[in-house]
Amino acid sequence: MRTAQEFVNRLTRIHRVVVWSVQLGVFALSAVLAFLLRFDFGLPAAYLRHLAYALPIWIVVKILVFRVAGLDRGWWRYVSVTDLLRIVAGNLVGSVLSCFAILLVAPTGFPRSIYLLDLMICFLGTAGVRIVVRLTAEATSQGGKGALERNTLIYGAGEAGITLLREIQRNPKLLYRVRGFLDDRPDKKGVHILGEPVLGGGDQVQALVSRHNIETILIAIPSATGTEMTRILELCHAAGADCKTIPGLGEVIEDGGLVGHIRAVAVEDLLGRRPVRLEENQIRASLEGKVVMVTGAAGSIGSELCRQIARFHPAGIVGFEIAESPLFEIDREMRLAFPVVPFHPEIGSIQNRIRLDEVMCQYSPSVVYHAAAYKHVPLMEAHVFEAIENNVFGTYNVAMAAAEHGVDDFVMISSDKAVRPTNVMGATKRIAELLLLALQNGRTKYVAVRFGNVLGSNGSVIPIFKKQIAAGGPVTVTHPEMRRFFMTIPEACQLVLQAAVVGEGGQICVLDMGEPVKIVDLARNLILLSGLRPDDDIKIEFTGMRPGEKLYEELNTMLEDTAPTAHEKIRIFTGNGMPEGDIETWLDCLREICETRDTGRLVVALKEIVLDYSPSVHLLKRLVKARTERAVVTTA
């Protein structure tokens, strides 16, 4: 005996023939029923001739109309309200055209009410059979899950929650038994959506989890802010339920459904960052068919830039990197993920001008994204000359090579630490920005893009916190009031591509980083996401500020010294801050200081070039100690 599922599967395999056959039967049956209803099922013999004329006309005309409208294609198991509206239109057009044809060829005396009866019956038949197929398919798809299903609540009774419920009801791969919705809007409580009730709000999570034996809560609020997501996460953990979320519906639509998108809540969700709006046509026009070079191509930002650039079909991507193993890995990844985009891994240092010239001469890039830099603040406080040689002279080498080899666009990744810097790394980034401003007088368009920390980048707090949590703690935070701007790596790189288009040359673009986040809050949230309790399961310890750090980073983002652009998340830094004298003269001075390894002179030079640079206490103590030691040696 065939099961209902086997029947549905057979209909799927031969659905085109079934559709034509069923629609033909509905058209014919509606015509006959219209006549029978008109005459109370006692059709006079005199009207059999009228039926004989009308029946083939209705069938032929409606078949043609449904064919043209595409109503004989598609899967009935996915019929929607939009499809029903198209069926109404198809039946109406078919009936009107049939009416004209019948008036032209049929005998006189054709009852007018039959036209309306046929329209109503045909719509009920063509729509009803589709609804029956959909209900049957949904009923059979939910069978067979049994004990594998997890009792589930959906947090959010909006469009995302309804879409998620529909997908769960249709898709046998999603082993969730939805018991109802949670929603913080009081007016939704008690409402039934697709057969499932809205049971209450977030303050009732614990009671509802216990009452309905809930194992999983699916958060379906893509627009939730970071604060809201943190609150929901804490409520779910307090109730002892597993917590998962879904991405924004735009991402779901692009990737074709919710299957595989339900995932554990990530720390990025707790930032509450809104999706980036990209002017993709502008970006595509600047990258498509061109060779693009990325320095620092195997780093966190550089590798993501390569991935994002590949989406816009460049003629090739040149990955310039000094680290051999990471370059090998990004080369493998790019070849697998983007096989049609040539990726050229090139080993070299930005401090080696000869090597830069070789690579640019070989590939003739039109666009250069300069992401190679030393970025770790405490490490650069201890290696001041290496910071200058790489971040300043290295940038100068790449920028000059770009100009000499006819590069159209040069984009440098800068940092929020270049704003009123209190460390050597920030000062070197500010000098690199000033270099680009000074060089902007020829064909190459120089733009710097300034932003803060990116989640998950090499050496950032997230990987460090995760390792500490995995080891059982403690999680170390420098200061309870330490705050930083954060964004995700993909968002940062997407906005870098956008800023390259927005910038007109000789400008510093500043990305909107949102609100600064307390590092201690980030640590607490990461512990929660690990299923543990902050301060109970995992301790948080404060270790004190490191050399060169400041409590609050600045971006000069939204108001001070910036002007808006056409993109709401990108502004242009309008402050200048150029030092007196020629930038080339200052570079020569820095070279001489690096050769003599005179830290004192270097700090003075940095102060003269970067007018608002404030050396760290740690660095000043080193200078005092070195001077005291020299004085003792001289006296002796």
pLDDT of residue 634: 62
Q: Which of 62, 290, 417, 550 is catalytic?
A: 417
pLDDT of residue 228: 80
For residue range 195-208, what is the model confidence (pLDDT) as tens digits? 788 888 888 888 88
Q: Which CATH number covers residue 401?
A: 3.40.50.720
What's the distance, Cα to Cα, between the start and end of the chain in Å? 106
Residue 490 belongs to a domain: yes
| Whether 288 and 337 share a structural domain | yes
Residue 272 belongs to a domain: no
Q: Are 58 and 118 in contact (CB under 8 A)?
A: yes
Q: What Å distances lie between residue 32 and 11, 23, 43, 55, 59, CA to CA? A: 26, 14, 10, 8, 11
| Whether 287 and 430 share a structural domain | yes
pLDDT of residue 265: 58
CA distance 188 to 184: 8
Which residue in this structure is represented by tokens 């057979």? 10
Residue 619 belongs to a domain: no
Give the domain extent around 418. 280-454+486-511+553-577
| Whether 87 and 53 share a structural domain | yes
| Whether 157 and 126 share a structural domain | no
Among 109, 141, 173, identify where a domain stops.
141
Residue 570 contacts by C-beta under 8 Å, 6 or more apart in sequence? Answer: 495, 498, 499, 502, 509, 510, 511, 512
Tokens (6 digits) for 177: 């038994």
| Whether 253 and 191 share a structural domain | yes
Q: Are 448 and 483 in contact (CB under 8 A)?
A: no
Pairing of the two strands 483-484 and 517-518: antiparallel
pLDDT of residue 253: 41
Instruction: Let me know if 174 is exposed, middle or buried by CB neighbors in 10 A (0-12, 13-18, 19+).
Output: buried
Nearest to 293 by CA among 248, 229, 210, 350: 350
Nearest to 497 by CA among 565, 429, 409: 409
What SS3 state is found at 111? coil
Residue 245 belongs to a domain: yes
CA distance 553 to 484: 6
Q: What Å distances lie between residue 66 and 20, 132, 266, CA to CA? A: 10, 19, 47
Among 103, 118, 141, identify where a domain stops.
141
Tokens (6 digits) for 417: 């630490």
Among 240, 265, 290, identify where a domain stops.
265
Peptide bond before 474: cis, by omega within 30 degrees of 0? Answer: yes
| Whether 123 and 211 share a structural domain | no
Q: Are 367 and 293 in contact (CB under 8 A)?
A: yes
| Whether 193 and 174 share a structural domain | yes
Pairing of the two strands 242-245 and 263-264: antiparallel
Residue 234 belongs to a domain: yes
Residue 413 belongs to a domain: yes
CA distance 487 to 271: 8
Tokens (6 digits) for 320: 């310039």
CA distance 245 to 219: 5
pLDDT of residue 500: 81
Tally of domains in the chain: 3
| Whether 228 and 116 share a structural domain | no
Pairing of the two strands 540-542 and 475-477: parallel
| Whether 95 and 154 share a structural domain | no
| Whether 161 and 109 share a structural domain | no
pLDDT of residue 254: 45
Q: Are 361 and 398 in contact (CB under 8 A)?
A: no
CA distance 40 to 117: 13
| Whether 252 and 352 share a structural domain | no
Q: What is the DSSP string of 87-110?
A: HHHHHHHHHHHHHHHHHHHSPS--
Please identify every stretch of the chain with a pLDDT value under 70, giving residue numbers as ranges. 1-16, 46, 72-82, 106, 134, 137-148, 171-174, 247-278, 453-460, 462, 485-487, 513-515, 529-531, 546-560, 564, 568, 575-581, 630-636
Residue 216 belongs to a domain: yes
CA distance 549 to 537: 29
| Whether 137 and 158 share a structural domain | no
Q: Are 450 and 418 in contact (CB under 8 A)?
A: yes
Tokens (6 digits) for 122: 């045909």
Q: Are 265 and 229 in contact (CB under 8 A)?
A: yes
Provide φ and ψ at 625, rounded to 5°: -65, -45
pLDDT of residue 177: 83
Q: Are 208 and 214 in contact (CB under 8 A)?
A: yes
CA distance 50 to 402: 84
Residue 627 belongs to a domain: no
pLDDT of residue 559: 46
What SS3 state is found at 503? coil
CA distance 482 to 478: 7
Helix (H) or strand (E) holding 507: strand 507-511
Tokens (6 digits) for 221: 């609020």
Q: What Å distances lie between residue 516 and 229, 465, 487, 543, CA to CA? A: 17, 18, 10, 21
Q: Is 539 a catalytic residue?
A: no
